[in-house]
Amino acid sequence: MTTTTGTRIRGGIGESVKRPDGIPKVIGNFAYASDLAADGMLWGATLRSPYARARVVRLDPAAALAIPGVQAILTQDDVPGRKTFGQITADQPVLVDGEARFWGEPAAVVAADDPETARLAVAAIDVEWEELEPLVDMEEALGRDEVFRYAPVRRGDPDATGTVVVEGYYEVGMQDQAPLGTEAGLAIPDGEGGVDLWVTSQWTHEDHDQIWRSLDLAPDQVRQHPTGIGGAFGAREDMSLHIHVCLLALRTGRPVKMVYNREESFPGHVHRHPARMWYRHEADADGTLVKVEAKIILDGGAYMDTTPAVVGNAVYFTTGPYRVDSVQVDGYGVRTNNPPTGAMRGFGVVQVCFAHESQMDRLAEALGMDPLELRKHNALTTGDPLPTTGQIIETPLPTVGVIEQLAAIPLPPPLDSDDPRRLPGGTGLTTTPDYVTRGVGYAVSLKNIAFSEAFDDFAEARVVLSPSGVEVHTAAVEVGQGMVTVLQQIARTALGVEQVAIVPTDTSEIGSAGSTSASRQTQMAGGAVLEAARAVRDLALEQAGGDDLTSDGVWRAGELVMTLDELCADGPISHHTRFRHPPTEEPDENGQGDLHADFAVAAHRAVVDVDAELGLVRVVQVDTAQDVGLVLNPQSVRGQIEGGILQGVGLAVMEELVLDRGIILNASFTDYLLPTFLDAPEVEMALIEEPSPWGPFGAKGMGEPPTISSTPAVVAAIRNATGLELNRVPIRPQDITGT
């Protein structure tokens, strides 16, 4: 596959280019949504339900409205248009509609002159709640038929049997994306009945489509602008305060800003779906998989959000990257009164990977086989059918190569230090080397890239060439992953012009680039930029009669024939494109069909030290090999992989929202434990480059795989050190000690 167009250029693909937002972020000059301000600005605050399920008996804002500086208090009755919102189904009330269905659900919003007055007004609202019995158990919800989506898979002979059988029950707790920046937004009325919104978002056009409907405005009266986001990982794909802040701005006629504090941020965004899963694997004596059966239940919380898509991903990747001819799966996303759940890095595949990799280790033990040899023996590759859907995998899938390159990475040396920073428990001085056992574990994952199941997935981009260089206009949202840098590199390489600026564009100026999720933006927004840039290059060469384009101008046979000033004398040269990935299908009644556009495989090896007496774990090293298509920016790839691994480590050993009757008990970063730099393992990696047929220059999206199989690898290593089953994550000290 050709990886360049014209002369190789500084700052093009393959280089570790510095991020344009890097220095502003490091020195504190970068404008996040919470930093925005406007003259005459009011502050918004939110009244929330103190119960997971409750009826509003009385809500009287009179006393709060009497407080000096309070400008407006709005409830569900004040929503002028559609009174519900939601990405897939509009089932969530803008404000409580008489019954709150999860802890922290917004019931009223306030606008006041300053944040302190806004908070006082919230506290002064006369509200009486009647607590109702919440539904908090996902299996009870399934029994009551509270189901957002049922997704079955029936493929192959259901009566097939193997000579070796292993079964297991597995559970995944509720993990938070834990973005450092909370939800924030600024809405400014335009004086003509419309509004401009800057807000934390991963998909501006999808938000926009929901907002204008609830505001009862025309689409062009609402303009949503990209803004700085302090982390996302899926937490910003569903809306939070978007409609609220616009309602307040339109009611008061003044700019309104809202910023959630940390406690309200936890119910203010979706989380990773908790899961309960049953698996049964059957294999022949040589290790060949014969049949996989599974039942998967995901807790969707009170409203649908993206639960149907997460259930689909979980079901269609139930078996992982392994060949098997008989697959029988039932997947459910259920409605409860627990906190909202939706997109989080890995999007349903994280949960099932923990289960299927635990099963593969159990099967290897039952067969007396090496765990990696069992995985290689059954490894999927190009030309195989996806075991769940029957889709023939036509894109490169180097599963065996990924496993072999991971195994070739040297193991770290044995523990030979009594430095507490290198021991389980750290500087708490709670253990000594004599009590430490080392374990090693492996896991492999398979993940789809971009949106699936016949979704019309596209990204628009506009590339403009002028004497000053190139502008790339896109609505693709930079959430910290480095997309802006990669888009610059793609445009530079395609055009041969070094001066490239990415122009974040609002919903009135360009069409959607889709969501910054599903590992899709490098391929989708990147594909759109590449297509538009190549078209601009062709137009420029045709106009000037040249054969090459550089920052100096158009060349022919090695001689400059037209400068950029001369080329653009009559105006800039531009091209607008809408890029789509290969089409996908909806599943039939048995879950069969060509559902996915591309795939990526990754493998992880974890090395852990465990003090089994105290239940303490230190993750020493997590090595990985990953299928990335083509490395566009080596440093960015490494950053994504290291960050993703740390999220996987967090889910394995510490991260969980603790609930009591649907109420989050640890809604702070004091009590919700996150890995710090002291918990970060060493990481060695091997990157396998087998180009995607439709990614820009062959690149694949690579942001999610690092999180998916790192968790089961860490758990496998702890099992190896302790001999325990450990069928739930995160693993708590008492799970190891048994006390």
**Within 13 Å, how many C-alpha atoms sit on residue 512's CB side?**
16
Q: Identify the pLDDT of residue 95.
A: 98
In this prediction, residue 430 has a pLDDT band, given cuts at 50, 70 and 90, of: confident
In this prediction, residue 1 has a pLDDT band, given cuts at 50, 70 and 90, of: very low
Q: Which 8-state DSSP code applies to residue 412?
A: P
**Residues contacting 699, CB < 8 A, separation 6+:** 522, 523, 526, 628, 629, 630, 631, 632, 691, 692
What distance in Å separates the CA atoms of residue 369 and residue 427, rounded to the nearest whole number?
A: 39
Q: Which sign does the torsion angle of CA 641, 318, 516, 187 carry?
A: negative
Look at residue 634 and tell me if it is in a domain: yes
Look at residue 616 and tell me if it is in a domain: yes
What distance in Å separates the CA atoms of residue 51 and residue 54, rounded to the nearest whole number?
A: 6
Domain that holds residue 472: 458-580
Residues 677 and 621 in one domain: yes
Please say which residue of 532, 549, 580 terminates a domain. Answer: 580
Residues 554 and 653 in one domain: no
Look at residue 509 and tell me if it is in a domain: yes
Look at residue 354 and tell me if it is in a domain: no
Q: Identify the pLDDT of residue 423.
A: 92
**Could you tell me the CA-to-CA distances from 196 to 114, 220, 259, 478, 577 in Å, in that order?**
21, 10, 17, 19, 25
Residues 611 and 719 in one domain: yes
What distance in Å separates the CA atoms of residue 177 and residue 585, rounded to the nearest whole number?
A: 30
**Residues contacting 269, CB < 8 A, separation 6+:** 177, 179, 183, 235, 236, 238, 240, 340
Smallest Cα–Cα separation from 190: which of 220, 213, 211? 220
**Residues contacting 426, CB < 8 A, separation 6+:** 420, 618, 678
Residues 475 and 415 in one domain: no
Q: Which sign does the torsion angle of CA 341, 702, 382, 444 carry?
A: negative
Look at residue 62 and tell me if it is in a domain: no
Q: Look-up: residue for tokens 């997971």? A: 52
CB 501 within 8 A of CB 468: no
- Tokens describing residue 298: 């995901």
Q: pLDDT, tens digit, for every residue of 276-329?
A: 999 999 999 999 999 999 999 999 999 999 999 999 999 999 999 999 999 999
Please say which residue of 580, 610, 632 terminates a domain. Answer: 580
Domain with 496 in it: what CATH number? 3.30.365.10
Q: Is the pLDDT of residue 379 over 70?
A: yes
What distance in Å separates the CA atoms of residue 314 and residue 326, rounded to the nearest whole number?
A: 17
Look at residue 410 and tell me if it is in a domain: yes
Q: Is the pLDDT of residue 421 over 90?
A: no
What distance in Å separates the CA atoms of residue 202 and residue 231, rounded to the nearest whole number?
A: 10
What distance in Å separates the CA atoms of residue 175 and residue 649, rounded to the nearest whole number?
A: 12
Residues 546 and 607 in one domain: no
Q: Which amino acid is at 442?
A: Y
Residues 732 and 633 in one domain: yes
Residues 646 and 720 in one domain: yes
Domain count, the chain: 2
Please say which residue of 525, 553, 580 terminates a domain. Answer: 580
Burial class of residue 561, CB neighbours in 10 A (0-12, 13-18, 19+): middle
Residues 463 and 575 in one domain: yes
Please tell me the pTM assigned to this model.
Answer: 0.96
Residues 439 and 524 in one domain: no
Q: Look-up: residue for tokens 């595949």? A: 349
Q: Is the pLDDT of residue 2 over 60?
A: no
Look at residue 180 and tell me if it is in a domain: no
Q: pLDDT, tens digit, for every residue of 49-59?
A: 999 999 999 99
Of 3-7, 112-116, 150-154, the range with the lowest mean pLDDT is: 3-7
Q: pLDDT, tens digit, for every residue of 57-116?
A: 999 999 999 999 999 999 999 999 999 999 999 999 999 999 999 999 999 999 999 999
Residue 187, H or E segment:
strand 184-189
What average pLDDT does the segment 144-159 reach? 98
Helices (H), 496-633: 521-544, 564-567
SS3 (DSSP) at 526: helix
Smallest Cα–Cα separation from 238: which of 201, 266, 267, 212? 201
Residues 632 and 500 in one domain: no
Look at residue 322 and tell me if it is in a domain: no
Residues 737 and 698 in one domain: yes
Smallest Cα–Cα separation from 720: which of 359, 424, 437? 437
What distance in Å separates the CA atoms of residue 334 and residue 300, rounded to the nearest whole number?
A: 5
Q: Identify the pLDDT of residue 303.
A: 98
Burial class of residue 551, CB neighbours in 10 A (0-12, 13-18, 19+): middle
Q: Identify the pLDDT of residue 7.
A: 45
Concatenate the DSSP letters of all residues of 726-738 into one string: --EESPPHHHHH-
Strands 256-259 and 275-283: unpaired
Q: Tell whether omega for the bond before 730 is within 30 degrees of 0, i.e. cis.
A: yes
Work out the mean pLDDT of the chain and round it to a whole number: 96
CB 453 within 8 A of CB 518: no
Strands 184-189 and 195-199: antiparallel
CB 73 within 8 A of CB 120: no
Q: pLDDT, tens digit, for every residue of 227-250?
A: 999 999 999 999 999 999 999 999
Q: Identify the pLDDT of residue 6.
A: 39
Residues 603 and 739 in one domain: yes
Q: pLDDT, tens digit, for every residue of 439-476?
A: 999 999 999 999 999 999 999 999 999 999 999 999 99
* Percent of the chain whose predicted confidence (pLDDT) is above 90: 96
What average pLDDT does the segment 497-505 reach? 95
